[in-house]
């Protein structure tokens, strides 16, 4: 099982088990209708869903666990709601949602289940430590900011705070709607606030330029955000252009950012003692053992991903160095009036940077005359732009597109793209390494008819009368084997009829699988 959502909070003790059972019954009936008896000790199966309810109490306190398992033969979801009422500690609510599927590469949006939003909205005083919980965003007026800044630095806060900053460019109603959607998606995982245009001045005065929120942007404040130790890279900011482009994607990006911390939240302190009060049976023990074994396997998988990501960080360093080269080249072009191979009559100079993959594709179509990038070659870029890596991927892809454009118009150079990059004939050169560039596919891929067919892409009919051609050369925008990481496949026709480089595919790795994926 893979844990996809976890929220743990405190609430008023009176009637907490009754409220939880009522919310659980409502939620199950809403999504999986059927005649059921929601009572302690009763297990019921209706269709592909099973409910299990257990409870226990003694002088130390009381505990209740409501579980729903849904299995359609392809995907299995398990939702567990645990409420505890210790005799000497605050009452707590705990919601876990887990998923396992035979379609491991299928995509889905993770968000708070309606069960959580109902429990929070119908709670008496739901809170996580010093942070009150709500399914609606809280307005940050200028007079609220001193208290909010104190909350940011409160050592007892472990819940992320998400701030949407208004901007004159966007209608306030649209900002409010985006904040409401974010508050519902992030319910239990983070608290959402709306910062007015007037309040931004006060925010900057209180937190400084490094920790404030830019107009139209969204910032995620992790625990320990103080002006004395700002560490802005830790408190991630999604830039205004990205928010403006797709505001409903923002909370899903934030959930992906917060996923490791959310999954690592520990059970309430009283839970280990109260857990013994739940009815124990052999079937439950075996089930829990299997789930723990699956969790260990999942953690081992996450560890392998983390190791791969460390490699990607080195690649990101290369990208940063490349961006410096781009900016230096732009400065040289401005100061000397001589081009670097990317200027062309009637074409606006390319921007030094972009935010996201869709933006990279659009900028290439507008500013890079040396390459041909048809819309049909762009696959699922908007979907990839919802991921937390979208900014890095977009900048890296843009660097690759700039390299292909500069290569396309360096017609005096006869060898191929790999050699061109190795010769460093331009500040835009792409790293010529196996981790970043492949000029051909492996023999095992090309020997497999199904995999080989996935490398046939659209191309200008001047290059191929059929309008399609096999392309093996591709840029690796990121490494690690993830099926979502972008790839750019291209065909070199510099010395052919069109004199350009044609891009046949720009999208996630899953559409061009190899023997490993």
- The residue-averaged pLDDT of 387-406 equals 90
- Residue 423 pLDDT grade (very low, low, confident, very high; cuts 50, 70, 90): confident
| Residue 441, pLDDT above cutoff 50 | yes
- The residue-averaged pLDDT of 343-353 equals 71
What is the rounded CA–CA span in Å between residue 332 and residue 321?
Answer: 16
pLDDT reported for residue 293: 66
- For the beta carbon of residue 381, count every other beta carbon within 10 angstroms: 22
What is the rounded CA–CA span in Å between residue 473 and residue 310?
Answer: 26
Which percentage of the chain shows pLDDT scores above 70? 85
Instruction: Output the pTM of the full model.
Output: 0.66
* pLDDT tens-digit series, residues 106-142: 566 789 999 999 999 999 999 999 999 999 999 999 9
User: Do the strands 138-140 and 191-195 form a parallel or antiparallel pair, or are they unpaired?
Assistant: parallel
| Residue 311, pLDDT above cutoff 60 | no
What is the rounded CA–CA span in Å between residue 353 and residue 173?
Answer: 30
- Looking at residue 344, the DSSP 8-state letter turns out to be B
pLDDT reported for residue 106: 57
Q: Which of 85-94, 114-123, 128-137, 236-245 has the lowest mean pLDDT?
A: 236-245
- The residue-averaged pLDDT of 348-360 equals 87
pLDDT reported for residue 301: 64
Q: Which of 275-284, 313-322, 333-342, 418-427 has the lowest mean pLDDT?
A: 333-342
- The residue-averaged pLDDT of 250-264 equals 84
CB 129 within 8 A of CB 189: no
Which percentage of the chain shows pLDDT scores above 90? 54
pLDDT reported for residue 439: 94
What is the rounded CA–CA span in Å between residue 261 and residue 7?
Answer: 11
* pLDDT tens-digit series, residues 10-48: 999 899 999 999 999 999 998 888 888 888 888 899 989
Q: Could you give the residue ranges of the DSSP H alpha helices within 208-249?
A: 240-245
CB 218 within 8 A of CB 164: yes
pLDDT reported for residue 480: 61
Among 506, 462, 512, 452, CA closest to 483:
512
What is the rounded CA–CA span in Å between residue 185 and residue 251?
Answer: 6
59 forms beta bridges with none
What is the rounded CA–CA span in Å between residue 130 and residue 10?
Answer: 10
What is the rounded CA–CA span in Å between residue 469 and residue 491?
Answer: 9
- Residue 337 pLDDT grade (very low, low, confident, very high; cuts 50, 70, 90): very low
- The residue-averaged pLDDT of 233-258 equals 88
Q: How far apart, in Å, are the Cα atoms of 496 and each of 177, 231, 283, 406, 441?
A: 52, 52, 69, 17, 23
- The residue-averaged pLDDT of 65-78 equals 91
- Residue 55 pLDDT grade (very low, low, confident, very high; cuts 50, 70, 90): very high
């Amino acid at each position: 099982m893979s844990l996809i959502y976890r929220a743990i909070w405190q609430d008023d003790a009176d009637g907490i088990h009754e409220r939880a059972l009522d919310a659980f019954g409502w939620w199950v009936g809403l999504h999986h209708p059927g005649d059921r008896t929601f009572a302690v000790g009763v297990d019921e199966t209706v269709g592909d869903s099973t409910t299990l309810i257990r409870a226990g109490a003694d002088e130390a306190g009381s505990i209740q666990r409501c579980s729903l398992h849904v299995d359609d033969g392809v995907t299995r979801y398990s939702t567990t709601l645990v409420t505890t009422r210790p005799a000497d500690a605050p009452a707590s609510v705990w919601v876990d949602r887990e998923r396992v599927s035979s379609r491991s590469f299928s995509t889905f949006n993770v968000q708070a289940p309606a069960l959580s939003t109902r429990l929070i909205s119908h709670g008496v005083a739901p809170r996580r430590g010093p942070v009150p919980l709500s399914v609606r965003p809280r307005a940050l007026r200028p007079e609220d900011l001193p208290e909010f800044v104190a909350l940011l630095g409160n050592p007892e806060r472990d819940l992320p705070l998400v701030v949407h900053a208004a901007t004159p460019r966007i209608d306030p109603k649209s900002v409010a709607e985006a904040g409401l959607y974010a508050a519902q998606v992030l319910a239990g995982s983070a608290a959402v606030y709306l910062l007015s245009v007037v309040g931004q001045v006060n925010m900057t005065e209180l937190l400084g330029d490094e920790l404030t929120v830019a107009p139209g942007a969204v910032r995620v404040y992790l625990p320990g955000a103080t002006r004395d130790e700002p560490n802005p890279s830790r408190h991630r900011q999604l830039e205004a252009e990205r928010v403006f482009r797709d505001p409903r994607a923002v909370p899903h990006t934030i959930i992906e950012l917060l996923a490791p911390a959310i999954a690592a939240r520990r059970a309430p302190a009283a839970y280990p003692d109260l857990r013994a009060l739940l009815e124990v049976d052999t079937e439950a023990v075996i089930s829990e053992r299997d789930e723990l074994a699956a969790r260990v396997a999942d953690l081992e998988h996450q560890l392998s991903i983390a190791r791969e990501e460390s490699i990607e960080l080195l690649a990101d360093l290369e990208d940063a160095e490349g961006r410096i080269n781009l900016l230096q080249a732009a400065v040289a072009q401005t100061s000397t009036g001589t081009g670097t191979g990317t200027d062309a009559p009637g074409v606006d100079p390319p921007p030094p940077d972009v935010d996201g993959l869709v933006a990279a594709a659009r900028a290439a179509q507008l500013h890079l005359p040396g390459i041909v990038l048809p819309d049909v070659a762009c696959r699922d870029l908007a979907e990839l732009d919802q991921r937390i890596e979208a900014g890095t991927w977009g900048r890296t892809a843009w660097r690759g597109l700039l390299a292909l454009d500069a290569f396309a118009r360096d017609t005096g150079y006869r060898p191929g793209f790999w050699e061109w990059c190795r010769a460093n004939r331009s500040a835009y050169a792409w790293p010529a390494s196996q981790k970043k560039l492949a000029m051909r596919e492996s023999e095992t891929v090309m020997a497999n008819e199904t995999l080989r067919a996935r490398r046939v892409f659209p191309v200008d009919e001047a290059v191929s009368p059929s309008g399609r051609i096999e392309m093996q050369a591709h840029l690796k925008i990121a490494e690690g084997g993830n099926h979502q990481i972008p790839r750019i496949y291209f065909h070199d026709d510099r010395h052919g009829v069109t004199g350009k480089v044609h891009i046949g595919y720009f999208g996630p790795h899953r559409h061009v699988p190899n023997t490993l994926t």
